[in-house]
Amino acid sequence: MAAPIDLHEVSEREREARFRTRWRVKACGSTACISAGAGAVINAVEDMVEREDMQLEVQVIPTGCMGLCSAGPLMRMMRRGGQETDYQKVTPELSREIVRSHVINEEPLPEHQLDTGIPFFTSQERIVLANGGIINPDRIESYVAHGGYSALEKALTTMKPKAVIDEIRTAGIRGRGGAGYPVASKWSLLSAAAGDTKYVVANGDEGDPGAYMDRTIMEDDPHRLIEGIAIAAYATGASDAYIYVRAEYPRAIERLDRAIRVARRNRLLGRRILDTKFSLNVEIRIGAGAFVCGEETALMASIEGRRGTPRLRPPYPTDSGLWGHPTMINNVETLANIAPIINNGGEWFASIGTAKSTGTKVFALAGDITNTGLIEVPMGTPLRDIVEKIGGGVPDGGTFKAAQTGGPSGGCIPSKFLDTPVDYESLRELGSIMGSGGLIVMDDSQSMPDVAKFFMEFSMDESCGKCTPCRAGTVQMHNILQRIVDGHGTRGDLRDLEHLCTVVRDTSLCGLGQAAPNPVLSTLQYFRSEYEALLAKEVAHG
Amino acid sequence: MSDTTTRRAAETSGRQQGDHPSGDNRFELVDKQLKRGRYSQDQLIETLHVAQDVFGNLSEDILVYVARALRLPPSMVYGVATFYELFTFDPPGDHSCTVCTGTACFVKGADDIVQGVSEAYDVPAGETAADGSLTLKTARCLGSCGLAPVVVFDGEVLSHQNTESTLELVAAAVGGGS
């Protein structure tokens, strides 16, 4: 068996390498920037460095998401000693120009610069995304140099499993997948469960349209997730773990696969991790395009290779999960918070956010908003700050109409509630949910019944068909919404729709069905006049 | 393919490339995956993914082959394959156009793009045109919401699309469009 990685030594070596060249070029290689042409930019700079013999002057480092996806591809020039200049909308030609200008003339190109002093960057607090735009996701050394795996080492060598759970309890962290269940309670349940075989599962089946924070974590900081899983398994006595990833995220699968192999080779996974008695085997399981598999019992069925249909709880997974063994399912973002908590202490984490919703939350900001991208803010940040300060407001002279959170299980928050702090309870009171963190801004050109129909179509397509209220109810609700949107709806239709909403909500088997009426209910609550205007038209035309 | 051939194919997965008993060497890749998963029944979805990657779609022969290899009833394999959206049974078209219809893309007009391509090439979303030239698909969310609306044409991700730009793109590769 090879010797385990020496974290201190790797970290030192990596830090020294930083000073090897006068310049470091960091180019965002995340999926959004790649879609905008970042791959060609990275190649162009690498080619130029080689062709023009600049290897002693410049090193090129592809990084994960820098955040402001709408300004991509993003690139950062870093001079030895500290000076940093960021560039936006970089093309291959421009990237060469930027590098030459900095390296040869020591001159920046102000007209292409990205101002990092804007609130989009300064109002964020990055814990989960701390490594985004900084480390090279494909190199474990890069992660280690930024404190990677030190939390695992600390937990394994200085803390008892119970102490780890206590730290998580002090942190007060709640599940980031949507429901907000206290993480420490779940961990305690698995820890107390009987049996030698226990499983930890990372839920990376990020199905909510408009949310891509979990993908970004898996692609851009895969070791962070692995470290979180390892700490969770140590704390709860699990010896096997699965990462369930959507098949729609091939890059995440590839990166995680490589990261797991590298971690195993360095004795950070596998048998006797870091020469302790703790062993853990981690495997990836790939979904195949079923939204319902984000529900934990459906997810387990899918891991077992079956149709991903949910089942009634209890028994809860921590009593009877994968193949009947105690199993705990945590969201990817939740697990990405674990290493910082162990490193900095639960009290530090609890000091961020609000009393009941501690820490930060990552949001995917999209829709009718100036700055789209991934942001991370303390829990309890007013929605207005997110939309107006960080997001830069609604573009093209439009007016803010609503913010949609929680995807097809959430709701639309109208402008009169813009000052609401974003935390689990406040959003629930408004008829929406935190969800996994998609936040889509809609301007006054959007029709709310249309939006409700869009989400109902989603729930109808994704209903697994196991229970009748969801299978049949979503179809009926969709039909009614279609009639209303087409201008053929009647008052009776509206009444039926509201009735169906409560029936489906109260009688469906799993969260998908129970939450499917939420977009309709919330738009009816805040934008009822829009529905009625569509009915009135029908009456007027006779 | 007869039952005996299938069973033998599954058992002799270690053979060299070029002499797969089924007569189709692509099965070698499926065998490799089966072996990697130690023929464990919970590897069904992973195996189907590989089979679809290799063959482009899942035909009845392939489903039966996988069922035999994993010693699962064909009904279960069929049930799993039909449950998941990403498994397809019809051969794909020469070109593929996927329009993201996630929330951000919806807000930015993705539905119009789907309708535009669908009408121009007479192909309903989720299907392949009668002449096999184009498969039109919709995706639930590609997670590139900052670039909405997003279209993926033959694997290339294109940002900030509209109906005209997408139609131009499709016409350039497929031709025609009415």
Answer whether residue A429 shows pLDDT above 50: yes
Is the domain of A266 the same as that of A310?
yes
In which band, very low, low, confident or very high, does the pLDDT at B8 lie, cut at 50, 70 and 90? very low
B126 and A CB contact within 8 Å: no
Query: What is the DSSP annotation of A36-87?
Result: TTHHHHHHHHHHHHHHTT-TTTEEEEEES--S-GGGPSPEEEEETTS-EEEE
- Tokens standing for A5? 């990685």
| A104: in domain | yes
The identity of residue B121, as a single letter, is Y
pLDDT of A537? 58
In which band, very low, low, confident or very high, does the pLDDT at B9 lie, cut at 50, 70 and 90? very low
Burial class (CB in 10 A: 0-12, 13-18, 19+), B168: exposed
Q: B159 vs chain A: nearest CA distance in angstroms?
A: 7
pLDDT of A536? 65
Contact list in A for residue B36 (CB cut-off 8 A) is none
Judge: A308–B140 Cβ closer than 8 Å, yes or no: no
A403 and B CB contact within 8 Å: no
CA distance A38 to A65: 11
Contact list in B for residue A210 (CB cut-off 8 A) is 102-104, 141, 145
Is the domain of A333 the same as that of A217?
yes
Write the CB contacts of A100 (distance below 8 Å, at least 6 apart in sequence).
none
In which band, very low, low, confident or very high, does the pLDDT at A239 lie, cut at 50, 70 and 90? very high
Contact list in A for residue B67 (CB cut-off 8 A) is none
Q: Which of A442, A473, A496 is the last residue of a domain?
A: A442
- Tokens standing for B5? 């051939």
Query: Which DSSP category does A88 fall into?
Result: -
B41 and A CB contact within 8 Å: yes
Is the domain of A313 the same as that of A168?
yes
Phi-psi category of A398—alpha, beta or left, where left has phi over 0 and alpha has psi -120 to 50? beta
CATH at residue A517: 1.20.1440.230
pLDDT of B177? 67
Is the domain of A157 the same as that of A288?
yes
CA distance A448 to A484: 11
Count other C-beta atoms under 10 Å from residue A503's C-beta: 15
The identity of residue A294, as a single letter, is G
Answer whether residue A467 shows pLDDT above 90: yes
Is the domain of A367 the same as that of A250?
no
Identify the sign of the CA torsion A368, A370, A372, A378.
Answer: negative
Average pLDDT over residues A114-142: 95
Judge: B85–A454 Cβ closer than 8 Å, yes or no: no
Contact list in A for residue B106 (CB cut-off 8 A) is 209, 454
Q: A88 vs chain B: nearest CA distance in angstroms?
A: 14
CA distance A488 to A118: 48
* Residue whose C-alpha is closest to residue B136's, from B144, B146, B121, B126: B126
Place of tokens 């062709």: A51
Helix (H, G, I), strand (E, B) or coil at B76: helix
| A354: in domain | no
Residues A322-351: b if buried by 16+ CB within 10 A, e if exposed: beebbbbbbbbbbbbbbbbbbebebeebbe
Average pLDDT over residues A17-24: 93
Answer whether residue B23 shows pLDDT above 90: no
CA distance A99 to A42: 12
Average pLDDT over residues B34-51: 96
Q: What is the mean pLDDT of chain B?
A: 88
CATH code matching the domain that covers B95-174, chosen among 3.40.50.720, 3.20.20.70, 3.40.50.1370, 3.40.30.10:
3.40.30.10
Closest residue to A304, CB basis, from B42, B101, B141: B42
Number of domains in chain A: 4
The full length of chain A comes to 542
Judge: A35–B157 Cβ closer than 8 Å, yes or no: yes
| A129: in domain | no
Closest residue to A247, CB basis, from B86, B108, B148: B86
| A135: in domain | no
Query: What is the DSSP annotation of A490-529?
Result: -HHHHHHHHHHHHHHHHH-SSHHHHHTTHHHHHHHHHHHH
Average pLDDT over residues A477-501: 97
A70 and B CB contact within 8 Å: yes
CATH at residue A248: 3.40.50.11540
Which residue in chain B is spatially nearest to A246 when comparing CA positions? B86
Judge: B144–A372 Cβ closer than 8 Å, yes or no: no
CA distance A47 to A57: 14
Average pLDDT over residues A21-28: 96
C-alpha dihedral (A447, A452, A455, A461), degrees to nearest 10: -120
Is the domain of A163 the same as that of A70?
no
- Provide the residue range defining the domain that includes A63: 17-117
Is the domain of A186 the same as that of A264?
yes
B44 and A CB contact within 8 Å: yes
Judge: B145–A366 Cβ closer than 8 Å, yes or no: yes
Contact list in A for residue B101 (CB cut-off 8 A) is 209
Q: How far is CA A236 from the centre of its chain?
A: 24
Contact list in B for residue A288 (CB cut-off 8 A) is 45, 48-49, 84-87
Q: A449 vs chain B: nearest CA distance in angstroms?
A: 13
Is the domain of A177 the same as that of A321?
yes
Q: How far is CA A173 from the centre of its chain?
A: 16
Average pLDDT over residues A31-60: 93
Tell me which of A98-112, A281-295, B10-24 is least confident: B10-24
| A12: in domain | no
Q: Which of A316, A349, A382 is the last residue of a domain?
A: A349
Is the domain of A367 the same as that of A308?
no
Percentage of chain B with pLDDT > 90?
73
Size of interface A-B (CB pairs under 8 A): 129
Residue, of A498 and A83, whose pLDDT is higher: A498
Q: Which of A295, A324, A349 is the last residue of a domain?
A: A349
A366 and B CB contact within 8 Å: yes
Domain extent listing, chain B: 3-83, 95-174
In which band, very low, low, confident or very high, does the pLDDT at A162 lie, cut at 50, 70 and 90? very high
H helix intervals, B70-126: 74-83, 103-107, 110-121
Closest residue to B103, CB basis, from A70, A305, A438: A438
CA distance B42 to A171: 36
* Residue whose C-alpha is closest to residue A140's, from A270, A267, A55, A281: A267
pLDDT of A36? 87
| A274: in domain | yes
| B contact test, residue of A31, A201, A206, A212 with most B CBs within 10 A | A212
Judge: B85–A288 Cβ closer than 8 Å, yes or no: yes
- The pLDDT tens digits for B107-147 are 999 999 999 999 999 999 999 999 999 999 998 888 788 88
Task: Identify whether the C-beta of residue A87 lies closer than 8 Å to the C-beta of residue A74.
Answer: yes
In which band, very low, low, confident or very high, does the pLDDT at A1 lie, cut at 50, 70 and 90? confident
- Tokens standing for B54? 């290799």
Which residue in chain A is spatially nearest to B87 when comparing CA positions? A288
Task: Identify whether the C-beta of residue B65 lies closer than 8 Å to the C-beta of residue A306.
Answer: no
**Strand B95-100 versus strand B134-139 pairing type:** parallel
In which band, very low, low, confident or very high, does the pLDDT at A428 lie, cut at 50, 70 and 90? very high
* Residue whose C-alpha is closest to residue A150's, from A1, A10, A3, A352: A10
pLDDT of B21? 83
- The pLDDT tens digits for A279-329 are 999 999 999 999 999 999 999 999 999 999 999 999 999 999 999 999 999
Interface of A with B in 158-217 (CB under 8 A): 206-212, 215
Average pLDDT over residues A484-504: 96
Please list the residues that pair with B113 across neighbouring strands.
none
